[in-house]
Amino acid sequence: MIKVRYRALTFCLLGMLLVVLPGAALAGQPQTSSDWLAKGQAFLTDGDYDSAYFAYCEAIRLDPGNAEAFYNRGLFFQMVKAHAFLAIADYSRAVELDPTMVSAYENRGLLYGLTGQSARAAADFAEVIKLDPEQTEAFYYRGLAYQQSKQYEKAVEDFSKAIEIRPDDAAAYSSRGECYIEQERYESAIADYNQAIALKPGTALYFVNRGHAQGRLKNFEQALRDSYVATKLEPSSVAAQFNLAQAFELTGNRIGAQEHYKLALQGMPPDRSREREKAEARLQGKWEGYQEWL
């Protein structure tokens, strides 16, 4: 099973809103919006989040039309693990005030994607592309939004554009490969994972997905090799362990298959019902069902 993964977002989005009051460190500070904004940025850099929050609020209170103040407070909400909707609200206000603020569209688009709002994410990255057509990340993230909403052809187009702009982008090859798998274009998927692995040979996911494509093509020996490498790179990967178990089974090694089905079951999430049923059946010595590669 292929899951959309958003990369390069360093801020966690779960938690509670930080409620603060002005401290002694803020006493006697200048009263212009720009000065408060500068203070907020300095406090944020120093890790003084209480003071940074108050400073950004003061900047907004003194000048409700200060787009940068809304943008930076939105960034603050991300950095202190506030709820995503608070950051989205501030980024939305920032782009209302300054429709050319690329970074606000980018960050809001990421948050929309991470909260499952793929159509809004795609719209935001379309704005980024309109404002900065050579922004490879925007094509990549819009591709992820299309992939998330199962618009695989559009996703492939955007990932291809991202690769055209930056041919060394392993994640773009990987994501396009995921779309090819969903479209049952397995040879194309394998070609993309070959590129991704050449660029980042230590990434278990790339071996997992190339092995999965090989399995779908009934190239079980190749699937076994890729899945084996993936388990060595990331032993906790459920997909790697499950694929290796399938490959062992389909190449006639039932003992090896049972060992890795057991390992896969240890971390398998509840929504993987077909994989769980297959693994449990194999551990019970039942080999007649689920003969196809899952």
Which one-letter DSSP state was computed for residue 24? G
Q: Round to the nearest angstrom and report the end-to-end CA distance of the chain.
A: 8
Q: What are phi and psi of 166, to 5 degrees?
A: -135, 90
- Which ranges constitute the DSSP H helices of the chain? 33-46, 49-62, 67-79, 84-97, 102-114, 118-131, 136-148, 152-165, 170-182, 186-199, 204-216, 220-233, 238-250, 254-267, 273-283
Residue ranges per structural domain of the chain? 1-10+97-201, 17-80, 204-294
Could you tell me which residue, 292 or 190, shows the higher pLDDT?
A: 190
Q: List pLDDT tens digits, range 5-31.
A: 444 433 333 233 333 334 434 445 667
One of 1.20.1440.230, 3.30.70.1730, 1.25.40.10, 1.10.1660.10 is the CATH number of 204-294, namely: 1.25.40.10
- The fraction of the chain above a pLDDT of 90, given in percent, is 81
DSSP letters, 179-246, are HHHHTT-HHHHHHHHHHHHHH-TT-HHHHHHHHHHHHHTT-HHHHHHHHHHHHHH-TT-HHHHHHHHH
Give the per-residue pLDDT at 9. 39
The pair of structure tokens assigned to 294 is 């899952």
Which one-letter DSSP state was computed for residue 18? P
**CA angle in degrees (0–180, nearest 5) for 20-23-29:** 115
Indicate the fold that domain 1-10+97-201 takes in CATH. Answer: 1.25.40
Instruction: Check: CB of residue 201 under 8 Å from CB of residue 220.
Output: no
CB atoms within 10 A of CB 126: 16
Give the per-residue pLDDT at 110. 94
Mean predicted confidence (pLDDT) in 264-272: 92
pTM of the model: 0.84
Give the per-residue pLDDT at 291. 87
CATH class of 17-80: mainly alpha
Give the per-residue pLDDT at 208. 98
